Structure 1
Amino acid sequence: MCARYTLTKAQKDLLIRYQVKFPAGYKPNYNLAPTQKGLVITADEPDTAQLMHFGLVPYWAQSTKLDFSTLNARSEEIMGKKTFAPLITHRKTCLVLADGFYEWDKKTGETLPYRFVLKDRDLFAFAGLWSQWKDQFSGEVYRSFTIMTTQANETVGKVHAPKFRMPVILSREEEALWLSKDLGTPDLLNLCKAYPDELMDCYRVDKAVNATVIKGVINNRPELIQAIN
């Protein structure tokens, strides 16, 4: 599962890697949590990065109240889920830009956070799906996304036991395929595999990252990604 991640790069660095239009209001996030806005690039508008809410709200929902089961979409089960199947069928795919994600080791009885990063790239994208909800009375538009997951690899499994999940991290070549509207659904879902162990690393971070809000203020500080021990 992926319920918290990071995108700490400055906009100028993002522009070098993803040559797209960027929205006003982007700020680095060291502890991006559900309902907060993440940066995504959709198959419908591949030349534009957009800020959308983390945690998918289906178009048919009664409100934007988040059901936490829509933070992630299990790639092996997606075609049997009414929330996600139409999105993959109609190619509502997106790249969720990131540079790390958190998982928690609970084997000792404590809740110890680890940050996972890539060795070969300091900026990458999760495979995602997005949806647009519209209030029938006010006309308010709410765009949101979910992150695809797959079986955890060994690197993630050392912290998050192998029976658990990890986000689908796309290679640079796969990013273009995930946004392609010409790829068949089976081929699209075949991209949802664990990232190679030898290209991943992780390290302990302070338990301060466990909190998403402190005294009513969003907990988003550079210190949260610093390694300890």
Structure 2
Amino acid sequence: MCYQTKITKQKEEIAERFNVEITALNDYNSMEFCSAFEYPKTPIITNEMPSKVQLFNSGLIPSWSNDNSIRNYTLNARIETLAEKKSFKDVIQNRCLIIADGFYEWQWRTKNGSKKEKYLITLPNQELFAFAGIYTQWADLNNEIYNSYSIITTQANELMSEIHNTKQRMPVILKNQDEQNWLQGKNYKDFAFPYSCNLVATSLENENLGQLGLF
């Protein structure tokens, strides 16, 4: 799963990397540790406005929802069941790029999880990248519009299977050349396992361990 991320680059770096306008990023704040359970606003690019970066909240709230409590369960969306889940099946084509430069995962060192080791997962050189995502708009009882997204997850690759050794899941991190394919509606099944990109895992618990690997 993917619940803790980081986005530490400046908005100008984001604009240059994704070749987009940054007019909507006045309220953008870089974050070394971003917990999805706090439903933060983070930078994304939607297929509806592909030339701009916008700030949406984590935790997709379907348009039919009576309140926002459902977002506790929609932070991630499994790619294998997108077409089956009520929260996601109607917005599969609402594609977005969720911008980050890293995410965190905990490796269970004991069977019961009493001892865990924290890893930071990045691209080489901690470059900016995009998670595959879906998004929607929801109006509350006061007709205030709330924009939100879910990160798409898939089966873990070799590296992430070693780290996320309980559920063995990972977010879909798009290769640069596939970012537009995702936005433009290419079949989502093409991004399921074994789709993956090169990742580096760095232990944050024991500096002597250094980088676990590159796959």
Residue number in structure 2 paired with 1:223:
none
Residue number in structure 2 paired with 1:13:
13
Alpha-carbon distance, 1:162 to partner: 7.1
Alpha-carbon distance, 1:110 to partner: 1.7
Structure 2 counterpart of 1:147, from 147, 151, 176: 151
Alpha-carbon distance, 1:149 to partner: 0.4
Structure 1 counterpart of 2:178, from 174, 177, 180: 174
Alpha-carbon distance, 1:53 to partner: 0.7
Alpha-carbon distance, 1:191 to partner: 2.0
The answer to whether the Cα contact below 8 Å between 1:174 and 1:191 also exists between their aligned partners in 2 is: no
Residue number in structure 2 paired with 1:100:
102
Matched length: 200
The answer to whether the Cα contact below 8 Å between 2:102 and 2:126 also exists between their aligned partners in 1 is: no
CA distance in 1, matches of 2:64, 2:167: 32
CA distance in 2, matches of 1:96, 1:105: 24
Residue number in structure 2 paired with 1:216:
none
The answer to whether the Cα contact below 8 Å between 1:118 and 1:200 also exists between their aligned partners in 2 is: yes
1:202 and 2:201 equivalent? yes
Structure 1 counterpart of 2:165, from 161, 171, 177: 161
Code of the aligned partner of 1:167: P
Alpha-carbon distance, 1:192 to partner: 3.0
Cα RMSD (Å): 1.8
CA distance in 1, matches of 2:167, 2:182: 25
1:80 and 2:84 equivalent? yes
Structure 1 162/106 Cα, relative in aligned 2: closer, same or farther at 3 Å?
Answer: closer
Alpha-carbon distance, 1:39 to partner: 0.8
Residue number in structure 1 paired with 2:212:
none
Structure 1 66/85 Cα, relative in aligned 2: closer, same or farther at 3 Å?
Answer: closer
CA distance in 2, matches of 1:5, 1:66: 21
Structure 2 counterpart SS, 1:169: coil
Structure 2 counterpart SS, 1:52: strand
Deviations 1:84-106 (A, max 9, x none): 11111xx2110000111111112
Structure 1 counterpart of 2:137, from 114, 128, 132: 132
1:228 and 2:177 equivalent? no
Deviations 1:108-155 (A, max 9, x none): 3223211101127611100000011102x4111111100000001111
The answer to whether the Cα contact below 8 Å between 1:3 and 1:71 also exists between their aligned partners in 2 is: yes
Structure 1 counterpart SS, 2:109: coil
Can you give the 5+ residue segments of structure 1 that lack an aligned partner in the other structure? 207-226
Code of the aligned partner of 1:164: Q
Structure 1 167/66 Cα, relative in aligned 2: closer, same or farther at 3 Å?
Answer: same
| Percent identical residues | 35
Structure 1 counterpart of 2:65, from 52, 61, 64: 61
1:112 and 2:117 equivalent? yes
